[in-house]
Amino acid sequence: MSTALLTDLVIFVLSLWVGFEVISKVPATLHTPLMSAANSIHGIVLVGAMLIAATTNSWIGYVIAFLAAVFASANVVGGYVVTGRMLKMFRKRPTAPAAPPAPPAAARDGQPS
CA 12/CA 35 separation, integer angstroms: 21
- Please report, for the chain, the start and end positions of each structural domain, with discontinuous segments joined by +: 1-8+35-90
- What is the tens place of the pLDDT at every residue in 62-95? 898 898 889 888 878 877 787 777 778 777 777 7
Residue type at position 112: P
Is pLDDT at 108 greater than 70 in this prediction? Answer: no
Top pLDDT among 105 and 64 is at 64
The CA-based dihedral angle spanning residues 14, 19, 20, 26, taken in that order and rounded to the nearest 10 degrees: 150
- Measured at the CA of 16, the angle between CA 42 and CA 19, to 5 degrees, comes to 60
Summarised one tens digit per residue, pLDDT across range 9-26 is: 898 889 888 878 877 777
